[in-house]
Amino acid sequence: MSAMDLFAEALWRFHQTGDADLWIARDDGYLRREDASWYFTTWRDFPTHEKRALKFARGRVLDIGCGAGRHSLYLQRRGWRVTALDQAPRIVELARARGVTDARVVNACARLLFRDGEFDTAILFGNNLGIGGTEQKLRAMLRELYRVTAPRGRILATTRQPSTTNPVHRAYLQQNIARGRAPGQLRLRLVFDGARGAWFDLLLLAPTDVMRIAAKEKWELARVFPLENFEQGYSVVLEKQK
């Protein structure tokens, strides 16, 4: 089963029962439980770095990797026009069931079937800045977002700096470097209800990485909002340059 299909099943289970035994496994054996309730939070429980970045939303909004639709629902209630995207049909079905008015099945890492300049803000929360899994795919996504955003377009996104303070994570970074991979390139799969999803890559980025990569595609790192530290997570506001 694909990672996104399994993720959809876990989100639907939580939506229906209030519980989902969802785990994330890394290819070195590291395993942690994922709190599915996080995907159903409202503004009150959004993490601080998301709240600070959301204040920079404007115009028509594109919510990429919308999941259960928590950000789309918040923005809709505040009067914003939001188009929510996810690549799994069952996830889009859930977002619609929860009230997202414009949710579509779209792979954000491919060409987007939108007009040039159609959106003013793109949101990539939940570490979705790194959903492509590699720098090359991130750059391709930034190019597409450059095309579909207006001249004063913005990207609001979250990621986290790969951990060098935790010995378990530091060893993984060193292993990545030895294998010729980016230090923050995680090889992951989901485990839910006895099923294991397909492996996928997620790219974590230090702020200097975001600045460097974004600049190559004519996006400027305008704001950075960390949690207690960058390893816990941080949000960025990227602004479109000419």
For the segment 86-98, what is each residue's pLDDT rounded down to a tens digit? Answer: 999 999 999 999 9
Q: Given this model, what pLDDT does residue 46 score? A: 98
Contact 112, 122 (CB under 8 A): no
For the segment 121-150, what is each residue's pLDDT rounded down to a tens digit? Answer: 999 999 999 999 999 999 999 999 999 999
Q: Is the pLDDT of residue 1 over 80?
A: no
Among 133, 128, 120, CA closest to 80: 120
Hey, which CATH number is domain 3-240, 3.40.50.150, 3.30.420.40, 3.40.50.2300, 3.30.365.10?
3.40.50.150
Q: Given this model, what pLDDT does residue 119 score? A: 98
Say how far apart CA 164 and CA 184 lie, in whole Å: 10
Share of the chain above pLDDT 70, in %: 100
Q: Given this model, what pLDDT does residue 219 score? A: 98
Q: Given this model, what pLDDT does residue 10 score? A: 97
Mean pLDDT of the chain: 97
Say how far apart CA 223 and CA 89 lie, in whole Å: 33
Q: Given this model, what pLDDT does residue 196 score? A: 96
Going from N- to C-terminal start, the domains of the chain cover 3-240
Say how far apart CA 6 and CA 2 lie, in whole Å: 6
